[in-house]
Amino acid sequence: MAGEPKMARAVGNALHKNPDPEHIPCFRVVNSKGELSGAFAFGGENEQARRLMADGVEVVNGKVDLKKYGI
Q: Catalytic pick from 26, 30, 59, 64?
A: 26
At position 40, the amino acid (one-letter code) is F
| Residue 26 a catalytic site member | yes
| Burial of 27 from C-beta contacts in 10 A (0-12 / 13-18 / 19+) | buried
- Hey, which residues are catalytic here? 26
